Chains A and B, each alone.
Chain A
Amino acid sequence: MAADGRSSKKRKQSQTEDDTAGTFKNAVDMEMLSEEEDGANVESDDGEYEEFPGIDGDTDEDDKEVDEDEEESEDTDLEDHHVFPQAKTIVSDITGQQKRVFPEIEPDYDSDSSTEDGPNRVGNIPMHWYDDLPHVGYDMNGKKVLKPARGDELDKFLETVEDPAAWTSAFDKNTQSDKPLTNEELELIKRLYENEVPDAEYDPYEPTVEWFTGKGKEEVMPLSAAPEPKRRWIPSKWEKKKVMKIVRAIRQGRIVPHKPKTASTQPQFYAIWSDTPSEHAPPIPAPKPALPTNAESYNPPEEYLPTPEERKKWEETDPEDRDRDYLPHKYSSLRLVPGYDRFIKDRFNRQLDLYMAPRVQRVKLNIDPESLIPKLPSPSSLKPFPTYKSLRFSHSGLARCVSISPDGAWVVSGDEKGMVALWEVNVGREVKRWRFGGKIGALQWCPRTDTSYFVVGVEETIHCLVPPHLSPAVYQATQETLAPAHLPPSSESASPVKWTTPASNTWTDETPLLTIRLPPGSGLPNHIAWHRKGDYMASVSSGGNQGGVWIHQISKRHSQAPFKKVKGNVQLVQFHPLKPHFFVATQQYVRMYNLSEQKLIKTLMPGIKWISSMDIHPSGDHLIVGGYDRKLCWFDLELSDKPYKVLRYV
């Protein structure tokens, strides 16, 4: 469709002025006609030629206009008569690439040339039907459209001589006139002559556009437009063979269809309880495979995914040691999940499970695991307990023993160099120190509150020392206790232990007020224990033949060995606070004696390899024993010989 907007407008004008004007320049359809037809047209035109000027020659102006129009249109035809709207190639602002831009379409009545035809409305019919007629068709109003005037052969020749464009024009059968060909049409003809693709715009060698290859365009799934194979829709040969085999068998009587079941072969109803029940246990159901968890999902939650460290650790451990035999893996969609690579192995393991499973029903213990955990009290309810080192008391040597005064204000400590130091607890100041010849074995403060002194066990002796700065009343009471003005009568039985008090004029703070000399060879007193009332004191020495145990009575200044012979190595002794009972701890046992009846009450077995310490509760009912093997045994004395509870240091 090569209707130019401007020329069609002009044509319309000319039509409104004179409908019958036969200016068919701007034909819509164009046809290359053969020489014959051309010639026939020319002949047929001749007859009508006379009428034409009469109709046509109304106005000179019109003619002139038409002529001008013709000239103009010829000029313009050369330039802008296009088969297609001319596209311009410009550089896009956005992409920077070259692009083709087509002229804007103006949406008015003339814009669509497809709806309006030329004045000839005969349609697409063979035009030779009108060869013998003076008109070539009818216009919209039903009036005849006359054939345009055509010259004779001479005119035609002259035209070819005069008009340089004549040889590039072709006969338009719809308008029955010659029409010059446009550049595009000429180009198209030229291309056809050269056996090229007629479309000038078509580039047969344009670069390949990689629609489905290259980076980012990989097709994961095989999408194929291949036609379905033929075997999908032709009947199967093998099925036919199978069916034929069955058909043949039926024909030969080998297969009897709808064969009735005989009653003799199978009893239809029978008593299921008639058989004696089996002696065997019912078969145990096969072990159930573990159900898959969330971690085995193809799209597990993020928290199930292993971190690189976990993945590395999993890969480094042996397959037998792994806690699970897979690693969670996340796929964005189900179609991306690859084939299951462990399928064979899983099946094999399952078979192993079934085959190797011990067919024994194991009775599960139905115990709440929470009940097995001992109930621990909260630490806040156990307060106060030491949490913080407030002060530090520094000894020059190894401090071996320490004792706190009954009022809690003073602490006395002894070290291996023979030094005894008295400290003020609150500020950690050393108040006084005493020096002795040998190693200090034991120290114990007298529990009496009306007097104030402590005993120190040095090699074969026990000294009673008085702290300084006592109130006169307490000091006097202490003096009266340790060095009474009138010595008590010495007991009838001679004791190898000597009690000595220096003369009163030599008393100083430095020297002991009372010294108890144990028999020679008894060694270092390792342990000293006071009775609650502060009159009796027991000491355990490392040597000596009575187990080294001595009980001293301060008020009577008398010592006695309670045991003639003691089995084992005595470690510790302890007085019962209320009853006349006496505890003796050897390396592994604690024996409980009644001192007044002089007999063994019971032997406690803590189960400790080597007893290191022992103490009794002030109520006298509970005894706690500690050992070097980091155990603490708590005895309830009324209950049994065995520990009520065993605590263990971690």
Chain B
Amino acid sequence: MASTSSGPSCPIIFTTQTAYPLPTQKYMIPMNWKRFQLSQLVNKALSLPKPVPFDFLIRGEVLRTNLVEWCSENGVGEEETLEVEYIESVMPPQKMTEIPHEDWVSSVTCSIPGHFVTASYDGYLRAFDYSKTSVFSLLAHSAPITSVCVVSRSSDEDKPHLIATASQDQTAQLSEVSFSADHSQKTESRSLAKLHLHTAPVSSVASNESGSHVLTSSWDALIGLWDTSIPDLDEVPEPAVPERERKKRRKMNGTDAENKPRRKAPVAVLKSHTARVSRVTFGQDKHTSTAFSCGFDSTVRLWDVENGVCTQTISASEKPFLDLTLTADGNAVAAASTDRTITLYDIRSSNTANVTASMGSLSHPATPSCVASGSTVHQIISGAYDGVARLWDLRSTKTAMASFKAWDGRKRILTVDWKQSIVGIGGEGGLEIWKAAEDTRSVE
């Protein structure tokens, strides 16, 4: 593989984790080559039938310029052998559509295929299909909704979906929504149960994959664990009403005795955080009985949900965490904090009680408010208060692979969700849908 162009060259060893391995040998690569030439080289060397674009990682950094500039920036001599990992390129995300909302969108989920479910600060739960038509809207809470998750999505179109919402009115709610794809039937939406535990705004709600349990986190430092069965009777009594208001309440009670959502009590309460819990989520696959939470007390905690105990605490210093996500393989946690970083924690080493070492941190120019993982192992997406969503490859923590501005970067991003190459971005300006091609091959 002799170099054809003139100029200095440096020895390079290519490694990869993709399905296109090159034999391990040293290549003398001209220093003025850029990503394109390297990608061509790999394609030619493998003689791929269809050209596959590659990106190149050198020491945890994506090669953006040519090799000379990279070497001079990083102080690497020309004689040194560079180990270059190549990954398949991700196309830059493209904006698909924009769905304006009346109020800020606090949470969005793309879990229901063909639909986006948004929760807004005006208390409405809304759903849109891909043609931007509103499928339903439900006034779920009197206060701003902070989080939404689809508890169980039925494969059958006609069966209702169970959606959980968390709100600043200090309750979470389970709602049943049924809508059909062809709009032939009328959508029905109904609040089934209100989850009463917290005494402060509920910050997030999450369900496990089977949809049997729901976790809620709140500003009062508690995490509630709930099952999703709807009780026939209220499990939590109505608060004692003062004498002078009782008359008024009684009048209201008479009207909606039947359809009133049941008041549900938690199965367990997970107590360990010392400050506001900002996000709780269930683990995937092998970690189904594990929950992950992060909070303003600068800790990320792992919970054994069945026993209701905190198994592991990752303490950072001065990092109030805002959001957290598990990577697709479930080996690491990415947590966004107000010090403008997203920190990665490896959670596999469960034998040690306290893990504090971070694998790396992704620094942002503005506070990252939300983070979501894609379906590939290495990719996460983050949204920040400067209105820029950034696509990261965890192998390259120094710079984002791609960044794109929602609402021209003038409004805050409050939530992102990424499912099957659809990125939903919610925030001050409503909802924006972007298409970010994710590498589905390596999922298998």
Residue ranges of A at the interface with B (Cβ–Cβ < 8 Å)? 383-384, 388, 390-391, 407, 409, 426-429, 431, 468-469, 471-474, 476, 479, 485, 504-505
Contact = CB atoms under 8 A, between A and B. Distances in A.
Given A428-B412, A469-B169, A474-B199, A409 B276 contact: yes
Interface of B: 104, 121, 142-144, 168-170, 198-201, 219, 239, 242-245, 248, 276, 318, 322, 338, 340, 366-367, 369, 385, 412, 414
A469 B168 contact: yes
A384 B318 contact: yes
Q: Which 8 A-B pairs have the closest CB atoms?
A: A469-B143, A472-B239, A471-B199, A390-B367, A469-B168, A471-B170, A469-B169, A504-B244
A480 to B, nearest CB: 8
Contacts of B200: 407, 409, 471
Contacts of A474: 199
A390 B219 contact: no
10 contacts: A390-B338, A390-B367, A409-B219, A427-B414, A429-B104, A429-B144, A471-B170, A471-B198, A474-B199, A479-B242
Contact of B340 (A384, A388, A407): A388
B415 to A, nearest CB: 11
Contact of A390 (B104, B239, B366, B414): B366
A428 B414 CA distance: 11
A469 B200 CA distance: 9
A473 B238 CA distance: 11
A409 B198 CA distance: 15
A479 B243 CA distance: 13
A330 B414 CA distance: 68
A472 B239 CA distance: 7
Nearest to B239: A472
A390 B412 CA distance: 11
Contacts of A426: 322
A302 to B, nearest CB: 28
Given A391-B385, A469-B143, 10 more contacts: A388-B340, A390-B338, A390-B366, A390-B385, A407-B219, A409-B200, A429-B104, A429-B144, A476-B239, A479-B242
A476 B318 contact: no
Nearest to B238: A472
Contacts of B243: 485
B411 to A, nearest CB: 11
Contact of B369 (A427, A468, A479, A485): A427
A473 B239 contact: yes
Given A383-B318, A473-B199, A504 B219 contact: no
B71 to A, nearest CB: 32
Nearest to A392: B385
Nearest to A474: B199
A352 B400 CA distance: 72
Given A390-B338, A409-B219, A429 B201 contact: no
A476 B242 contact: yes
Contact of B170 (A390, A428, A469): A469
A391 B413 CA distance: 12
A163 B362 CA distance: 119
Contacts of B104: 427, 429
Contact of A504 (B170, B245, B412): B245
A485 B199 CA distance: 24
A471 B201 CA distance: 9
B271 to A, nearest CB: 18
Nearest to B367: A390
A431 B104 CA distance: 11
